[in-house]
Amino acid sequence: MQRFKNAIAIDPGETDAHFQLGRIARQQGRLKDALEYFQTVLNQDEKHSQSEILRELGAVYLAAGQFEDARGFLAEYVEQRPYDPEGLFYFGQALEKLGRNAEARERYELATDAARTAPRYRRGVTAKWSRLAQKQLRKLAT
């Protein structure tokens, strides 16, 4: 974390340092800090890290209980990256929280399929999102 902060101190335009600090803040539950870092990234380069900034913003808003904001960012993200199981899972969660269960089921199914068809070297990372999506599908079926 300190190295990313040092990078920003040297060059405030270091977009990836802001992005990584935002991810760390989100994982630590510091949602306000995460939003500040991510807003800087969005202002500097909205396509940073293959538009993952949109997924990360959606995840922050999801964690903050701002489901409509989360849905907006995640819809835009999966439009650009339709085979990202993590983004599809978060999108499903936002839709589920908004009471749009049929659409949520579709996203969870797409997340499972995307994880299953990912290249072999990515399956260790994508398997988590497949398991989570399958769990939500079972929950919605009851």
Q: Indicate the pLDDT class of residue 134, thresholds 50, 70 and 90.
A: very high
Taking residues 123-135, report their average pLDDT.
95
DSSP state of 45: -
**SS3 helix, strand, coil % of the chain, rounded to 5?**
80, 0, 20
- Answer yes or no: is pLDDT of 49 > 90: no
CA–CA gap between residue 18 and residue 102 (Å, rounded): 36
- All structural domains of the chain, each given as residue ranges with its CATH number in brackets, are 1-45 (1.25.40.10), 65-142 (1.25.40.10)
- Helix (H) / strand (E) containing 120: none
Quote the percentage of the chain above a pLDDT of 90: 94
- CB 24 within 8 Å of CB 8: no
Taking residues 67-85, report their average pLDDT.
97
Q: What pTM does this model have?
A: 0.93
CA–CA gap between residue 10 and residue 33 (Å, rounded): 20
Name the nearest CA neighbour of 36 among 25, 47, 49.
25
